[in-house]
Structure 1
């Protein structure tokens, strides 16, 4: 039995995909559209910025791009907390997304910290 190698890029892509599915089911009122659009941008951007980080030529540029990814993840976390507070969207999926974003934030923060050493 072979073990799958841990890949942060895959997790970020999966997170962005789950964000899309979550946002598709948000109410189409002003609140749902506003927070849904914000969440789509920040959730997808975290994966895209990390992808850019992997193509950098220097540690400084890598840290900058990874920091953008971290910033977008933190924005997504706050957005999900707001949606939780007002009970918007699928409760189970929202809870899973909150858990995953917390883990991704810790992972990316650790990657940045280790890259700075």
Structure 2
């Protein structure tokens, strides 16, 4: 079976976000924003995983669109962490989420065009 690139990337990203949040909470004792980042960052991969067993093309599009929205929200939280007084080192995570967003945009656009 061929490996699903977006599934692998979003799982690895979720793992990175979990570790980032654990370290951040331990070092900075900040829990409110980090929980938001954890929720959004892990939701990307969870929705991609759900899409692998979509019941229809429409269901697949819906799950991938949710993944895209969650990726964009994750980018928002990472930028907030970086540019606020929290001053988090998260350039790698920002680079990775931007790459995931590009892939998801392509998947969503291609899938929607196949429905027409």
| TM-score (normalised: structure 1) | 0.87
Tell me which stretches of 4 or more aligned residues in structure 1 moved more than 3 Å: none
User: Any unmatched runs of 5+ in structure 1?
Assistant: none
Give the Cα separation in 2 of the matches to 1:101 and 1:112: 16
**Alignment partner for residue 33 of structure 2, among 27, 32, 35?**
35
Q: What's the RMSD between the two structures over aligned residues? A: 1.7
User: Any unmatched runs of 5+ in structure 2?
Assistant: none
Shift of 1:105: 0.4
Report the equivalent of 1:9.
Answer: 7
Report the equivalent of 1:67.
Answer: 65
| TM-score (normalised: structure 2) | 0.87
Query: Would the aligned equivalents of 2:48 and 2:67 in 1 still touch at CA under 8 Å?
Result: yes
Query: Would the aligned equivalents of 1:22 and 1:89 in 2 still touch at CA under 8 Å?
Result: no
Pair 81,50 (structure 1): closer, same or farther in 2 beyond 3 Å:
same
Give the Cα separation in 2 of the matches to 1:112 and 1:77: 18
Provide the aligned length of Structure 1 versus Structure 2: 109
Pair 6,65 (structure 1): closer, same or farther in 2 beyond 3 Å:
closer
Report the equivalent of 1:115.
Answer: 111
